[in-house]
């Protein structure tokens, strides 16, 4: 019930915004670190897309095999839930909602939302790891001040150093 209420609230907010962007509060890097209950680097090992019990929303659960925990304590695998996915010919897409590929390696800023684990700030809290670098995307997101978001790209080691500096403040 609580899970449904959270996702219904998000869906309502999404439906009130332009079709190509979801308006969210812009989070600074310091705010991402502070708000995240856990920060992990991991690999997507499985996904499951399903209808909510009332058949109103499509959700996708991504199973993340945790390789490193930078903040908080996490089990060896974490399930991250997002709104959206494809079941048969029905597709639910929420602009700015993080999506993952099987085998993808990412650093995730996570928070508990009732019974689910979600990514902080939608796409703002997902950083893909590739070739020793991290990058994120803020596509599909708009911010209340109207200015565009700026994606981050930097060496993985420097990113982890910046996360640890903020955790140890």
Tens digit of pLDDT for each residue in 100-112?
999 999 999 999 9
Tens digit of pLDDT for each residue in 28-49?
899 999 999 999 999 999 999 9
The mean pLDDT of the chain is 86
Q: Which residue has the tokens 């332009």?
A: 18
Buried b vs exposed e over 116-140: b needs ≥16 C-beta within 10 Å?
A: bbbbbbbbbbbbbbeeeebebbbeb
Beta-bridge partner residues of 63: 46, 79
Q: How many CA atoms lie within 13 A of 141 on its CB side?
A: 23
- Please tell me which residue, 111 or 169, carries the higher pLDDT value: 111
Count structural domains, the chain: 1
Tens digit of pLDDT for each residue in 117-160?
999 998 899 999 999 999 988 777 777 777 777 888 999 999 99
Q: Is 78 left (phi over 0), alpha (psi -120 to 50) or beta?
A: beta
Q: Residue 85 sits in which domain range?
A: 2-167
What does pTM read for this prediction? 0.84
Where residue 69 sits, what CATH number does that domain have?
2.40.50
Q: Write the secondary structure of 129-153 as one string of H (helix), E (strand) and C (coil).
A: EECCEEECCCCCEECCCCCCCCCCE
- Please tell me which residue, 65 or 1, carries the higher pLDDT value: 65
Beta-bridge partner residues of 42: 66, 106
Tens digit of pLDDT for each residue in 62-89?
999 999 999 999 999 999 999 999 999 9
pLDDT reported for residue 20: 58
Query: For the chain, what percent of residues have pLDDT higher than 70?
Result: 87
């Amino acid at each position: 019930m609580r899970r449904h209420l959270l996702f219904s609230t998000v869906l309502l907010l999404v439906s009130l915004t332009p079709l190509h962007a979801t308006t969210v509060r812009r989070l600074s890097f310091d705010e991402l670190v502070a708000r995240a209950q856990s920060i992990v680097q991991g690999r997507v090992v499985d996904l499951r897309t399903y209808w909510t019990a009332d058949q109103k929303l499509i959700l996708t659960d991504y199973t993340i095999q945790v390789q490193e925990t930078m903040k908080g304590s996490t089990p060896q695998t974490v399930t991250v839930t997002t709104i959206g996915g494809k079941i048969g010919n029905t597709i639910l897409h929420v602009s700015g909602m993080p999506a993952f590929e099987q085998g993808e390696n990412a650093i995730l800023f996570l928070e508990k939302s009732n019974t689910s684990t979600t990514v902080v700030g939608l796409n703002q809290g997902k950083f893909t790891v590739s070739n020793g670098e991290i990058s994120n995307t803020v596509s599909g997101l708009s911010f209340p001040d109207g200015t565009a978001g700026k994606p981050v790209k930097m060496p993985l080691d420097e990113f982890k150093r910046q996360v640890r500096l903020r955790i140890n403040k």
